[in-house]
Structure 1
Amino acid sequence: MKSRKQISSGVTELVLVRDDASELPPWTPGSHIDVEVRAGLVRQYSLCGDPEDRSQWRIAVLREPDSRGGSAALCERVRSGDVLTTIGLRNHFPLHQSPRYLFIAGGIGITPIIPMIAAAHAAGADWRLVYGGRSEASMAYRDEVGSFDPAHVLEWPQDRRGLIDLDQLLAEPQSGTLIYCCGPEPLIAAVEARSAHWPHGTLQVERFAPRPVTREAPNTSFEVELVDSGEVLVVPPDKSILEVADEAGVYVLSNCEEGTCGTCQTTVLEGVPDHRDSVLDEDERAANDTMMICVSRALSSRLVLDL
């Protein structure tokens, strides 16, 4: 690790470099990495630096009051020169080309938005950022996002202005505009509800925690066929596909086990998944050709997976 510094109340920035000073893999706005804090403890963080700078990666860590060890260690105990292991580089929140963007960020949700704003600004797109937080002191990178064009940035500290006025912000659909939203679940859920009358595909979101899932019926058993071996496994009501595969000696790379990181994404060859993740959008769910096997189940009696 190259450096660590506190950049706002509760938020610490880490700059990561390779120990041999070689170039890091390329990435695009919306990408995130997994950081292994210690053996068995892995956390996901959005890259928020410059994609053109292959010498380093920048992440920002929110110190969670009820930290289970991840944010506390990264914010308080790691030091410059410490070795951190990163696993994977994925982008389930890509910036699609558009003439206009509305970015809505809440708290640490500003991190994936920063390189998106830079890309939109460089492309000459029309963009606007509404950035909310508990207070100005808690809102990271305020100067940086304002440096692109302060006239396009509307700060909304909750202690002074209350909650973001989404009813006014999203009242009228704007032609050719994509909405990108990242932040706490209440904000994302509210944006989803308030933008429901906008054209299909307008809203793109990234969650840091799983979306609430309401089920009217209990889980049932189903079969999973693994195409590589032809083995058929039975997934009982109280276990996930990931757990059953692991018990059968089939290794699948996984991380969060709550359907938010996308690490265990698996191709579906036959059958109908019961999508319970917080990664796939409506179109990806409707296609039924991929699923997160840590949380999603089956609507059909059997799934055939590319495992």
Structure 2
Amino acid sequence: MKKWAFFIFSLVQLVLLVGCTEKSFKPIERDQNFVASLNIQEPSLDFIDEQGNGIATWLLDKAYSGAILLGDDRVLLYGHQLNEIDVYTLSTGKKLYSKKVQLGSTNAYYAENRKQFFITNSKTNTVTSFDEEGNELATQKLGNYPMSMAAYKDKLYVINYKDTKLSVLNIENLEVEQEWPIQKSSHGIAILEEKNELWIGGHGEGSKPNNSVKKYDLITGVKHGEIEMPLMPVGLTKTKDAVLVVSHGRNELYVADFDGNVKWQQEVGANPFVVNQFKDYIVVAGYDDHTLYFIKEGQVKKTVDVGKGAFQLLVREEKM
């Protein structure tokens, strides 16, 4: 009887131990370059090397809708319908910490020079700053549905997606310093310090889809002009010598110089939302065909199948 009781007790302890153990994933070596695809239809992270080979797939158990890298060895995951964010260490595959947040997280942005990240929220219409340990620093009320973000020097720029203004904040205390008039449903942002400009894309509204990327003076917010890039240019990424733009309404990739001249364009992917630079490749994620396209010299050199709903691309490269 005593042996049976001891067996039951040990079994219960084992079940409790297993139940309390955090889920962990395959570690990613610290010196491993990768492009990672966050897939949101069946949440997962696919890590791909420069040869197009799979390094690891993290099958996620929450409805994450976004992710960012915090430095070189951490990834932050958030979801619009989740009330907490999770931060994992890549080199161990283990969760570092979780932080309670309010429902409605729309975007996250990491300012490496400040070692801080920022989260926008569509339910509270706020942006909140955190240090790398997840401690809340400041919160600011913004316009309707803040989402796209970028930082430059001591300013944080936030597009209010369902509003007609872009908010310029002091990055230290998040006080609003300026508000620029912009088109409603704007989305996608890139800062070109070489031209003292900020570029934004967008979906457009209803029967009037957006067909261009707008250029604004980085200091005054005065509009400098538009670059025709039909249809619905929403994914913008600046590289050392170009701006990459994907227009998901026409499955088109545009590559423009800093003056706004389109150097070349190419149809690629099915409903792409995001583009990034990885080594010598431009990488486009097809949301509907669950495929990454590796493009070099204007040609698709290889394709890689990933999980369903490729929505964001995270890039880590060894710093030279």
Structure-2-length-normalised TM-score: 0.30
